[in-house]
Structure 1
Amino acid sequence: MTMMIEAEGLSKTFRIARRRPGLLGSMRSIVDPEVRTVAAVQDLMLQVQQGEMIGLVGPNGAGKSTTIKMLTGILMPSAGRLRVAGLLPVRQRRELASRIGVVFGQRTQLWWDLPLRDSLQLLRHLYRVPEQRHQQNLNHLRKMLDLDEFIDTPVRQLSLGQRMRGDLVAALLHEPELLYLDEPTIGLDVVAKARIREFLLSLNAERGTTVLITTHDMDDIETLCPRMLIIDHGRKLYDGTVDTIRERFGGQRTLVAVLEAGETAVLSMLPRDESGLPILSELPSGVSVQKLDGPRLELRFGRATMPAHELVAWLGARHRLHDVTFKEPEIEDVIRRIYEENLLLTDNSIAV
């Protein structure tokens, strides 16, 4: 597999000047300001293969956008080695621009007063895309993202979801190998988010486009990215699969059982706890009744408590079951737990 991103020891620091009181008051703060150094990214190690979809997660100020700007060549790293698509981003920025696409959720590369169609035509000239290739790509993307209803509308009149679809087309007209998305679904409604996620999955499957996403929306990560990178204060905390981190830090799972007719009456005769929930006899240690709503019974249990199939067998031996499903913890809750419980080590990995 081709390596699209190779970063080793990647770091970025900023020098920030701020005023400080002195004998000359504000004049001294201008002539001799207090300067402090802020590390936005520290010793980041990252390898991304062609065709991967990877989510970059972290709180505000974690260094996500700074990392993206170094990967695109906008910012020069303070230290470390970096190659993107085999190129040095800062030194070979123009060549790299023809091989990557970038979408910033809160900014646009479209011309505000022009119809979307005209903006896309101007971008063809900026990227020097041949007319025939441009038309083929545009026709394909128009169909995938349903642009026809607003392609002749000025950008300023587009809804946020329509504008984001236009920005995606603008970033993909020159067929980039690597697509950076910085908060691509911010502010969008549920329908717009679903449409963009479906499009990105199709793009990755059909063209093998490598996608790197920074987002606060954990649904984006769970839907799109088998692999997740968590960073905080510029340091890498975790690099692995979403399933693995949920397995290690997901804590509690929920068994949702729909009981057969008549079983609800049986449960209604059982004694209740302080919360009004039925007390099941011989309930395994570490298992608790979470909710009872008609024939729907929810049991909460820890991953280390007992295997899921054993809990189903235990419940099935006592009650007639119509259906059984499991609810996994939300990845957002998992990451919140990692931060709140400080499950970190000093070697840039997450504690077990």
Structure 2
Amino acid sequence: MILSSDASVIDVSEVTRTFVLRRRTGWMRRERSDVHAVRDLSFSVRAGEMVGYLGPNGAGKSTTIKMLVGILTPSAGRMRVAGLDPSRQRLRLARRIGVVFGQRSALWSDLPLRDSFDLIQRIYRIPPARYRRNLDEFIELLDLASFIDTPVRQLSLGQRMRGSVTAAFLPEPEIVYLDEPTIGLDVVSKAAVRSFLARTNRESGTTILLTTHDMTDVEQLCRRVMVIDHGRLGFDGTLDELRTRIGGVRTLRVDLAEPHPPMTIEGAQVVRVDGARQWLEFSSQDSAAPLVSAVAARYPLVDLAVGEPAIEDVVARLYTTDRLPAVPPSRTDPDPAHPPSPVR
């Protein structure tokens, strides 16, 4: 059962997860230290959202997912997933969620892929008619037909990942956690997985929490992103808001009627000239409108386009700043589509 988009399906309130490390400091002495993988973490996700959960290695992303699944128990704080306590009601919750953990497959390596799906159907007690309908649809969307009868151990990484994604969505879970679902995949496999996720989220309303280092995944799939670093939530909002808060540069590409020396425009700098086309960089925190007006008034303009900062550069800057920006109010728009930014 997919809940209404007005309902909150994931609630995390002041959650901390501490690991105890002990290292030898002498012949019979050990020193204890506490490592806070997650600290005072709070956020909520509404039904139908697809949210990117970003952060550098060791930031606490996988620890968060493991607590939401019930594999780990929070050291402090409160978690509710679909109204259940993940660590105390793990078996009940397991039937309502799906999980994909990167290259760690949940499939049976010695069985053909189809037999793995059949086992999942029995484990989750999926009605036969619904199972056949879902499987037929996933075979088409993820292009599984050519290898569905091949043993899993003989599949390529991309084929195994598509199989793992299918296995996670077959029982029609309310919530799916995807931890690096496109890692190591070729361009074709990545496109197939992204298209499938977007369609499933849009048509079935499945809530998806996506952790990834592939920023193209985020740009194409997620309207809302959360960024965690050193166990703390540093940002929660849209990609455009993230670009604005972190700063950086935007690009104005100008097509002139004829070749011209580099333009001189206050607040912008020409960084490249190619015949009648020029590229100007300006601060991402400034509006493009005055710049466009100045170019149109002084030069024979044919066409122009505004380019946003690459999301990889924005997130990299966020990771390397000493102080993370304040967290804005959580976004709750479940629509995964995000139109291009207008000229501001």
Q: TM-score, normalised by structure 2?
A: 0.90
> Which structure has the higher relative contact order (CA within 8 Å, separation 6+)?
2
Q: Partner residue of 2:332?
A: none
- 1:40-189 counterparts in 2 under 5 A? 40-189=37-186
Q: Check whether the contact 2:229–2:319 (CA below 8 A) recurs between aligned residues.
A: no
Structure 1 residue aligned with 2:271, among 266, 275, 290? Answer: 290
Runs of 4+ off more than 3 Å: none
Distance between the aligned counterparts of 2:88 and 2:102, measured in 1?
Answer: 26
| 1:303 to 1:330, Cα distance in 2 relative to 1, 3 A | closer
Distance between the aligned counterparts of 1:196 and 1:304, measured in 2?
Answer: 34
**Secondary structure at the counterpart of residue 165 of structure 1:** helix
Amino acid across the alignment from 1:291? R
Structure 1 residue aligned with 2:217, among 212, 216, 220? Answer: 220
Q: Partner residue of 2:290?
A: 310
Structure 2 residue 248 is matched with structure 1 residue 251 = yes
Distance between the aligned counterparts of 2:273 and 2:320, measured in 1?
Answer: 30
Amino acid across the alignment from 1:107? R
Structure 2 residue aligned with 1:8, among 6, 10, 13? Answer: 13
**Secondary structure at the counterpart of residue 229 of structure 1:** strand
| 1:293 to 1:123, Cα distance in 2 relative to 1, 3 A | same
- 1:320-335 counterparts in 2 under 5 A? 320-335=300-315
Indicate the RMSD between aligned Cα atoms, in angstroms. Answer: 1.6
Amino acid across the alignment from 1:14? F
Structure 2 residue aligned with 1:301, among 268, 276, 282? Answer: 282
Shift of 1:321: 2.4
**Secondary structure at the counterpart of residue 298 of structure 2:** coil
Amino acid across the alignment from 1:319? Y
Q: Which moved more, 1:129-138 or 1:223-232?
A: 129-138
Distance between the aligned counterparts of 1:193 and 1:158, measured in 2?
Answer: 16
**Secondary structure at the counterpart of residue 54 of structure 1:** strand
Distance between the aligned counterparts of 2:33 and 2:147, measured in 1?
Answer: 48
Distance between the aligned counterparts of 1:149 and 1:39, measured in 2?
Answer: 46
Distance between the aligned counterparts of 1:304 and 1:92, measured in 2?
Answer: 46
Amino acid across the alignment from 2:246? F
Q: Which runs of 5+ in 1 are unaligned?
A: 23-27, 271-277
Amino acid across the alignment from 1:247? T
**Cα-to-partner distance string for 1:197-233 (whole Å, 9 max, x where unaligned):** 1111100011000000111111111111111111111
**Cα-to-partner distance string for 1:267-318 (whole Å, 9 max, x where unaligned):** 2xx4xxxxxxx3x34x21x21101001222101112445x323222222223
Shift of 1:134: 1.4
Distance between the aligned counterparts of 2:321 and 2:205, measured in 1?
Answer: 38
Shift of 1:247: 2.1
Q: Partner residue of 2:339?
A: none
| 1:304 to 1:54, Cα distance in 2 relative to 1, 3 A | closer
**Secondary structure at the counterpart of residue 317 of structure 1:** helix
Q: Which moved more, 1:129-138 or 1:102-111?
A: 129-138
**Secondary structure at the counterpart of residue 203 of structure 2:** helix
Distance between the aligned counterparts of 1:135 and 1:304, measured in 2?
Answer: 51
**Cα-to-partner distance string for 1:162-202 (whole Å, 9 max, x where unaligned):** 11110011111110000000001111122221221111110
Q: Which moved more, 1:329-338 or 1:72-81?
A: 329-338
Q: Which runs of 5+ in 2 are unaligned?
A: 1-5, 329-344
Q: Partner residue of 1:275?
A: none
Distance between the aligned counterparts of 1:75 and 1:343, measured in 2?
Answer: 29
Distance between the aligned counterparts of 2:30 and 2:322, measured in 1?
Answer: 36
**Cα-to-partner distance string for 1:134-186 (whole Å, 9 max, x where unaligned):** 11211121121111111111111212111111001111111000000000111
**Secondary structure at the counterpart of residue 196 of structure 1:** helix
